[in-house]
Amino acid sequence: MCGDPSPRNQYLFNGDFVDRGQFSVEVAFLLLALKVCYPRAVHLNRGNHEATRMNALYGFLRLGARDRREVQQRASAQKIPPVEKELFRLFSDAFTHLPLCTLVNDSVFVVHGGLSSKDGVKLSEIQQLNRLREPDETADQLMLDLLWSDPMDQLGRLPSPRGGGVLFGPDVTERSLDG
């Protein structure tokens, strides 16, 4: 619909590639294949569902309609030997290598979740994060914020009802843009 990826027609996919319907495996394979075919024109950010725990809870690994896991269903439907655990492990490993944010044209900050629970975060701090890990309760707070935070209408910050990240108001956004 929007044309093939190219240096003049770039695509940025901003996380949550899986756990959004019955074709998560196909979507993940397609996006990874596009990244291989067009490495300078297709960009993938990690979302909060590119995590082993989320995949187990919300569909990518969850038991499906006939009590079979989605990865296993896809592998079986293609008459592939039962390698679902290894396939899931490889997906999980690939997801950890995805960037947590993208800076477009040195002016647009794109992140799956939102802003940090503290003011003044620098891009260098984000670059130093160990992203080759799960975004769980032992992860760096900044990683959780980038994957889980959400905007809200009121001023300030509040704990997120989703457990990770924070809710942040327009004043926090404004300060971030000024910084």
* 40-69 core/surface letters (b: 16 or more CB in 10 A; e: else): ebbbbbbbbbbbbebbeebbbbeeeeeeeb
What helix, strand, coil percent values describe the chain, rounded to 5? 35, 15, 50
The per-residue pLDDT for 114 is 94
Tell me whether strands 42-45 and 11-14 are parallel, antiparallel or unpaired.
parallel
Distance CA 44, CA 134 (A): 17
Half-sphere exposure of 6 (CA within 13 A, CB side): 5
CA angle 119, 139, 167 (to 5 degrees): 40
The per-residue pLDDT for 62 is 47
Sorted by sequence, the CB contacts under 8 Å of residue 1 that are 6+ apart come out as none
The per-residue pLDDT for 66 is 35
The per-residue pLDDT for 46 is 97
Residues of the chain with pLDDT under 70: 59, 61-85
139-176 pLDDT, tens per residue?
999 999 999 999 999 999 999 998 889 999 999 999 99
Residue 49 annotated in active site: yes
The per-residue pLDDT for 73 is 60
Distance CA 70, CA 126 (A): 33
Domain ranges of the chain: 11-96, 104-178
Give me the catalytic one of 43, 49, 97, 112.
49
